A and B are shown apart, each in its own frame.
Chain A
Amino acid sequence: MTRMMTAIGALLIAGTAQAQDGDVLLAMSWDEIVETARGGEVNVFMWGGADTINAYVSDHIGGILADEYDITLNRVPLADTAEAVNIVLGEVEAGAGMDAGAVDMIWINGENFRTMKQGDLVWCGYVDKLPNASLVDFENPAIANDFGVPVEGCEVPWSRVQFAFAHDTARTPEPPRSIPELLDWIEANPGRFTYPAPPDFTGAAFVRHVFTHAAGGADALVGPFDQEKFDAVAADTWEILNGIEPHLWREGVTYPTSITQLQQMFANQEVDLFFTYDPAEIGTAVENGIFPETAMSYGLSDGTLANTNYMAIPVNAANKAAAMVTQNLLLSGEAQLEKAQPEIWGAAAVIEPSRASAEVQEGFATLERHPSVVPVEELGQAALPELTPDWTRAIEDGWIRNVGN
């Protein structure tokens, strides 16, 4: 309800704002764009489930925007990114609100980005305008492709994340360090493992790890969706997952419905293993006292999925200039370094530090990490590319039909 009120509030505000035509902005110089943005505001819709992330965006980024550009940043928290996509879709479908939409920027990736791109809901072709875009290596396929969908100037990268597991060294000193080991471990430790049921984002990512394992490695799944290949691998995957079901928490009769619930269960010692798509979260949870100091994150020897997340501007955004200024700021070496500090957020940068100032390079070189968080370099040695949305969707639907019913 609060969320809805905020969204409606933002809608009303946006309705009165000066509409900005995207094409006019694209013809401007960067300085002119900054001048257009000055004194305005930007409505940023993003998943709001982590206090550290919320504070970084509202206070740090919002503070700089207010001080240097006189731009007001309104952060609208979401439980699910699709909610923001729904708002944009509703506005565009209604035909009203072109260049007067309520949403100026969305934290996004994967299927939601594909949906927006396919539906022409996202503004494209402006990324070259941002001066700090030169810090990003757009040649890197992990940045040029969002879950296999070419980015093509329709969104700006923000952070890199890689899936990691976590255990409590005091309780489980020898955790399983690959998917086959995990499957054996589950059988040997009945009731001590479970995963959130897809469509939960993290739970679906866990299922993709098992799927990749069943396929014999990520190389077998590169490229466009292949129904025949899917059917063969899926049959094995469901057999594995149904096979471990009797050894899961509650004998697999039910699954947690969200990653938050699994986090609580790990904290309450109901299960012995946790996993997350953002290993920095483990450090935050230890700092907050939710996890014990002996909690430790780790990667898998057969690799864990990695992805890049982005900021996109809807095609009907009312404050495109301010959104561009915000995105440029998010990409700056200083903002990326701040975001990488373990006590701020601990998110991996998307820029090439070597392209940034000497100070920023120095900062990245001496970056400390939380003792509970696995080093990015260690995780990155075995990083698996994310599957395209066609694959992820088929896996999710298949799990719900064959395993989770």
Chain B
Amino acid sequence: MSSSDLVSFVLVNLKRMKLRVSLTILGVVVGTTAIVAMVALGVGLQSSFSKQFLSIGNLNDLTVLPSNPNKGGPFNSQVKEVRLDDKLIREISKIDGVKSVVPQIDIGNVSAKIQNHKANSVSIHGFSKENPVELAGGRLPRRDDEKSVVISSKFGSSFEGEGAVSGSSLIDKRALLKITRSTDNGSQEVRRIRVHIVGIAKEKGTQEDYGSIYMPVGFAKDIWLWQQNTPNLIKREGYNLLKVTVNSPTEADSVQKKLEGMNLFVFSMKQMLESLNVFFKVIQAVLGAIGAVALLVASIGIINTMIMSIYERTREIGIMKAVGASNKDIIKIFLSEAGFIGLAGGIGGTFLGWVLSKSLSVLAAFYLSSSSGGNGSPISFIVPLWLAIFAIVFATSVGLIAGIYPALRAARLNPLVALRHE
């Protein structure tokens, strides 16, 4: 029996029990829709989490802390803490694949005055030439000593007692920074620095967007050392954190291994993202399994429909056997019918699941985006191509598997008994 004969034969057979076949297909459609929508939710969650995650940093970055907790460090005084000093920075810079090493410098206790706007609780962050802050407008400072800075995207919203001022209107303005430190005798000292605002940073979606000032790390280091007020601070205690930037994400793992070999604790975005992805794969599998329960129920429907149809067509099976159909032909016919039900339901369900995912995404965006600060909806449904193909193949396989028992039953019928069936 050729494939094209089989197809036309199966279509003729299915056509005469239209209502029953349609209802059975509907069951598969519901099951497939459930799987597609559920997994689409998982994929959407993964995508929006990854996006948020990558806005904090990028895959080329490694953050280095003084010691390796696996080998002791802060939790085990027996291992000597490695100091993050300038000598170590030079050492790390020599590792293959490392593009730059800069200390991470964050300064608090700062206030800023721009014309007559005043912002308290400002923080200063240093950045390196190799790994500068991303700009939304303006330019970066040209040299370390230029005393030029970049302000965060929502800096204009952090002024005291007034409404938001547009960030771009602050570009090219002068700002007066007031840095406060405590002295040994308990009194406070203030240092005033005039800076020139030359750029505005891209929105990060974190608290840093409000009231942050970015400046070249050399400039920031001067201010930090003054504020810490400890002689030989770097030689005696070292920096808190180092930011290592590698040439490409593929080199991140090997660099991380070497740094860990130097008794340092390394936190890498890449590794975090990888474990996040594993977590989301599990979430998707769990969501998909919940959807698969509906398809399992539909497969019982397929078995039921096929057994009914075989019962009604027993005599026909006898006729086909009498005129020379082999058991294999009979199996092929009934398996194909069940497989077709699965395929049709799979295609319908994938389409419906896609439509449902689109509509739910729009709904979620409508109801949730206002509360999440306009940065897109945290919940979206995404149907990637692999999911669509998987859903159709899976539904067809479920149909075929559901058809095995009825098809074998049909093939095993004794032709004479089948012919006498009324």
A binds B: no
